[in-house]
Amino acid sequence: MDFLTSILAISIVAGTSLVYATIGEIYTERSGVLNLGVEGMMIMGAVSAFAAAYHTDSAWAGVVAAALVGGLMALTHAFLTITMRAEQVVTGLAITIAGTGLASFLGEKLGPDGGPLVGLIGPRFPKIAIPLLSDIPVIGALFNQDILVYLVYILVIVATFYLYKTRPGLSLRSVGESPQTSDAMGVSVFGTRYLYTVVGGILAGIGGAHLSLSYTPGWTENLTGGRGWIVIALVIFATWDPLRAVVGALLFGGINAIQFRLQASGTTIPASLLNMLPYILTVVVLVLVTWREGLSKRLGAPAALGLPYNREERT
Amino acid sequence: MLPFSFKFEKRLEPSRLASILVPVLSLLLAFLFGAALLAVIGANPGQTYQAMLAGAIGTPAQWQDGQFYNMTELLVKAVPIILTGLSVSVAFRMLFWNIGAEGQLVMGGIATAAVALFFPSALPFIPESPWIYIPLMFVAAILAGAAWALIPALLKAYLKVNEIITTLMFNYIAILWYQFLFTTAWKDPEGFGFPGSALIPEYTWIPRISGRLHWGLLLAIAAAFVVWVIMDKTRWGYEIRLIGENARAANYAGVSIIRNIILVMILSGGLAGLAGFVEVTAISHRLQHGLAVGYGFTGIIVAWLAKLNPWGVVIVSILLSALLVGGEQIQITMGLPASVSLVLQGAILLFVLGGDVFTRYRLRMIRKAPTAVVAESPSVQEA
């Protein structure tokens, strides 16, 4: 029982950053914009969250900083791909490359007296046990978490409701499926795409903040370790649905938990081989999901994903 | 509200002026952005850029003394970048997003070292001569890089699995596998605990020209020539370009997309594998920390900045490696993070991506008749 509880607890903490960023990317992609800059936004979110929290001594200031930085980077992506009509794949890659470089640069310079951030201990979000609920066997692990985890529970519910049950959610989905039709109905395609790209960036930034403020508190280079790319795969796994994103994120969190347990138990399997697990799992899951979707002929992807919209031109 | 608005109009022909101005201005803007960043952290941007330049190409005083160390270092770095740049450019030409050059490079390096480390004892009948071993390692590196690229290619061709994610995940898997080899499985027992494989025999080394500069440079240029011939002079190259421009039309014209995905990824992975080959046989001479230093990602920037043109790849690679070498120098001489050059690289690409619209479109200013005036005096309406 204790074993299950600890696996579940670690899965949830490890999966939280993924849920934030995946729901963000689901919103972005639902509007028809593919944002491959998630990895860059998460790592910039992580470094700016830690730096801001360290200097202000407030973890919340870190979350705000990460949200701002993520949103700003997403705004850049939106401007380049929507207004300047740049290639979406390459622009996202460029944002990730620039973000990774900038994060490593800032990590060397944002510490006290222009020194490095590596090795510093900053404020972090403590675990808050919810009375009674946290005493339930196994499931209690859900209710002995930090505040960002509790917020992600709310986010999942709100995001699902918003997407399927509200008018703006309907507009968002229609822009991703058929921008021409949405435009004719008076929905601003550019405005919608800008809005949800920025929302996606904000959530990716907060996801990064959870890594440096709670999951592995502190800053080390390459802290995200490709989580931003796993997020892109999770969106496909989740078939662009926020609830299913949670299942995927827990699966990856669970892999992290198993890695932890094995390492703690003093296994003879070398760490570098254990660390491959999430990446191998990503490929396997992606292949299975794509294969199954191909069989059922049901396309989960928004029809206009990755296609620039241009009023005057027909594509 | 402004009395006018802007609108992009598609040009019939790409603008020549813009295609020259955009890269130049992007470079300038990226360096301005970098200067602002340096100023924020309290470094002097002018001095830093000067030090970067001196680090990249040396100083006139050094040239007079006959010291060209910096320039040869610059070319040493350019070699793997040319190869990964070519690798990415052939795949991107048919809009196959191979982000996996980094992992394919690593696999090429592993295969190179495997031949050099294990063939002499396992297959003693092979003459221990560079004329035999270097071609053997060359082929092994191409095969390993191609094989690593082939898996995502097959998954894409037959199951339509998103290649961006598979090639990227394969990077992580390859790098971790590489780490496992040099820290555990192939670790040199006589290495005093230092993580790294044994040194490969000297007859398997590519000879050097000057400093660390080696004949791999010639190999990289030859590879650019081969890619240029394939892309511009053969039917295969025509098919690849056709798929990149309009996959559906290519399919109707009888071009097999499945076959081309597989063949192009073999070519692309092989080229990246060669980058690993030169790094191992000419530079490190063993498997150790520092093979996967991001050349695969620099290759993406190079390919796009070069507009996927092989000769452009050679030129842009040399420019970007100047940036990298300069960045390493300011870390040594000024104590500034070398990642400045990564930031600059990314910024250049972002500015070029944003500016490219001006080569394909022209910006038109459209005057709006002030609405209030129109309402009061309908006679003002012109057209």
ipTM of the complex: 0.90
**SS3 state of residue B294:** coil
For residue B110, give the 3-state DSSP assignment. helix
Pick from B42, B170, B228: which is nearest to A233 by CA?
Answer: B170
HSE of B238 in the Cβ direction (CA atoms, 13 Å)? Answer: 6
Q: Are B161 and A286 inside 8 Å of each other by CB?
A: yes
* CA–CA distance, B276 with B172 (Å, rounded to integer): 16
Question: What are the structural domain ranges in chain A?
Answer: 2-296
| Distance between first and last Cα of chain A | 57
Q: Which of A280, A282, A312 sits opposite B165 (nearest CB)?
A: A282
Which positions 71-110 of B are in contact with A (Cβ < 8 Å)?
97, 99
DSSP-derived letter for residue A80 is: I
- Of A58-72, A213-227, A290-304, which one has max mean pLDDT? A58-72
Instruction: Single out the residue of B153, B370, B352 nearest to residue B262, CA to CA.
Output: B153
Task: Indicate yes or no: CB of A85 within 8 angstroms of CB of B155.
Answer: no
DSSP-assigned states of every residue in A93-158 = HHHHHHHHHHHHHHHHHSSGGG---TT-----PPEEEPTTGGGSTTGGGGGEEEHHHHHHHHHHHH
Q: For residue B177, which of A174, A207, A272, A88 has the smallest C-alpha distance?
A: A272
Contact between chains at B172 and A226 (C-beta distance less than 8 A): yes
Query: Are the beta carbons of A105 and B169 separated by less than 8 Å?
Result: no
Q: Is A123 exposed, middle or buried (0-12, 13-18, 19+ CB in 10 A)?
A: middle
Q: Are the beta carbons of A97 and B301 separated by less than 8 Å?
A: yes
Could you tell me the end-to-end alpha-carbon distance of chain B, in angstroms, rounded to an integer? 21
Residue of B nearest to A86 (CA): B353
CA distance B318 to chain A (A): 19
Most confident of A213-222, B126-135, B143-152, B336-345: B143-152
pTM value is 0.91
Structural domain B78-321, CATH architecture: Orthogonal Bundle (1.10)
Q: pLDDT for A71-91, tens place per residue?
A: 999 999 999 999 988 989 999
In chain B, where the domains are located: 78-321
Q: Return the SS3 of A274.
A: helix
Instruction: Pull the structure tokens for residue A114.
Output: 């222009």
Rounded-to-integer distance, Cα B101 and Cα B317, Å: 15
Does pLDDT of B375 surpass 70? Answer: no
Residue-wise pLDDT for A91-131, tens only, equals 999 999 999 999 999 999 899 988 899 989 999 998 888 88
Please tell me what DSSP assigns to residue B340. Answer: H
The percent of residues in chain A predicted with pLDDT above 90, rounded, is 67
Q: Phi then psi for B210, rounded to 5 degrees?
A: -160, 135
Structure tokens at B64: 């007079």
The Cβ of residue B195 has, within 10 Å, a number of other Cβ atoms equal to 14
* Domain A2-296 sits in CATH 1.10.3470: yes
- Please give, rounded to a whole number of angstroms, the shortest distance from the CA of A48 to a CA of chain B: 15
Contacts of B155 in chain A (CB under 8 A): 287
Q: Does B356 touch chain A (CB under 8 A)?
A: yes
pLDDT, one tens digit per residue, over B173-214 is: 999 999 999 999 999 988 888 889 999 999 999 988 888 889
Residue B374, pLDDT score: 46
Note whether A273 contacts B176, CB cutoff 8 Å: yes
Above 80 in pLDDT, residue B111?
A: yes
Residue B378 has pLDDT above 50, yes or no: no
Residue A282 has pLDDT above 60, yes or no: yes
Contact A104 B337 (CB under 8 A): yes
Q: Count Cβ atoms below 10 Å from residue B2 Cβ, excluding itself.
A: 7
Q: Is there a contact between A234 and A252 (Cβ–Cβ < 8 Å)?
A: yes
B176 has a chain A CB within 8 A of its CB: yes
Check: CB of residue A190 under 8 Å from CB of residue A53: no
Integer Cα distance of B370 and B302 in angstroms? 47
Residue B137 · residue B119 · CB < 8 Å: no
**pLDDT value of residue B381:** 44
